[in-house]
């Protein structure tokens, strides 16, 4: 059994024993950041969730999310050689812009993106100055008021 088949079997296990609404919630919860967002997306009420095993559904959602990431990585791994070969073909393109973009992509992937240098001058005496605030009442704002 290859890696993708194993992941698919694990995904099927995640949904085992759930009804269609619970499956919908688990899928929505795997793609959102909160129970409230998942409920909004599915159109279910907070009461619906309270009447179900929320912890179990959320654990299944996290497992589903993790399995989806693994599934994507396996698919990418299976096509990695093909992608690299395609990039190498683009390096031979007659179009200068395509060739340049392929070269940049190749270099970024192989060597990492170029470091951006920043030339910055900072002056600091090392002394920390505390701001001082003055408190006065609105009566003090009246410029026409005579000093007493």
Rounding to the nearest 10 degrees, give the CA dihedral for residues 56, 62, 68, 73: -140
pLDDT band with cut points at 50, 70 and 90 for residue 145: low
pLDDT higher than 60, residue 69 = yes
Contact 30, 22 (CB under 8 A): no
Alpha helices in the chain (DSSP H): 3-14, 20-30, 35-42, 46-50, 54-78, 80-90, 96-111
Contact 20, 52 (CB under 8 A): no
Rounding to the nearest 10 degrees, give the CA dihedral for residues 37, 39, 41, 44: -160
Give 6-55 pLDDT, tens digit per residue: 666 777 788 889 999 999 999 999 989 999 999 999 999 999 999 999 99
pLDDT band with cut points at 50, 70 and 90 for residue 77: confident
pLDDT higher than 70, residue 123 = yes
pLDDT band with cut points at 50, 70 and 90 for residue 117: confident
The mean-pLDDT minimum among 20-24, 101-105, 116-120, 122-126 falls in: 122-126
Domain limits, the chain: 1-78, 79-112
């Amino acid at each position: 059994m290859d890696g993708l088949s194993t992941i698919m079997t694990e995904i099927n296990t995640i949904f085992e024993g759930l009804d269609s609404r619970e499956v919908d919630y688990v899928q929505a919860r795997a793609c959102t950041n909160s129970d409230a967002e998942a409920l909004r997306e599915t159109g279910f009420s907070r009461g619906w969730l309270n009447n179900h095993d929320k912890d179990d559904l959320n654990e299944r959602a996290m497992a589903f999310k993790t399995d989806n990431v693994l599934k994507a990585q396996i698919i990418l791994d299976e096509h990695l050689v093909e992608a690299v070969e395609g990039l190498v073909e683009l390096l031979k393109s007659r179009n200068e812009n395509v060739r340049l973009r392929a070269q940049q992509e190749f270099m970024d992937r192989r060597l990492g993106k170029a470091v951006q240098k920043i030339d910055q001058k900072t002056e600091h005496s090392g002394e920390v100055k505390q701001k001082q605030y003055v408190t006065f009442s609105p009566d003090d704002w009246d410029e026409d008021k005579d000093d007493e």
